[in-house]
Amino acid sequence: MLRILLPLLLALGLLMQAGAVYAQDGIEVRNARLELAEDGWRLAAAYDLDLNHGLEDALNRGIPLYFTTEVEITRPRWYWLDEKNASAKQTLRISYNVLTRKYAAGVVGNVQQSFNTLEEALLALRRPARWTIAPRASLKMGETYNVSLRIGLDLQLMSKPLQVNALNNSDWRFGSDRKNFSFKAEEK
């Protein structure tokens, strides 16, 4: 009996440990909230994000990495499906220039900020600038809304040969679980 039970317990322990290692390799949405600004509703978010060895190696070889944040705001309804009030995407890019030995990070389509170290560049990804995800009038004051947020490595923006390689490599499946929270639209 002990001969059978001991290997099973050992295998279960290894599986649990492997799951914990996989969870550490992803991205975690640490906190997120919506704020009302002049131009509309803005997302303020912070992530726990540390690149795994494969992604860090690719970055240091000059391959840019793209991280896309997807946000959806819905209002629950008891009589029908939830009403979709707004959805938005924003892509952040991090790259390394082998010649200048500098990292660059920022929102795709905007000016990229230059950094001396990878840790400084990752800080720009961990705490991105607030961005407008919905016009002010799209949410009614006093109503409660559900927000769904996810960030992950966007393989569609990478070159085709890398996309094929990424499908077969678990290092390139890098993202967060969907973070859901509710908030009440109020002026502060």
What is the chain's mean pLDDT, rounded?
85
Q: Which architecture does CATH list for 26-184?
A: Sandwich (2.60)
How far apart, in whole angstroms, are the C-alpha atoms of residue 157 and residue 164?
12
How many angstroms separate the first and last alpha carbons of the chain?
65
- Report the DSSP pairing between strands 102-107 and 83-97: antiparallel
Token pair, residue 68, equals: 């896309």
pTM of the model: 0.80
Token pair, residue 120, equals: 């400084």
Residue type, 81: L
How far apart, in whole angstroms, are the C-alpha atoms of residue 107 and residue 110?
6
pLDDT in tens, 47-80: 999 999 999 999 999 999 999 999 999 999 888 8
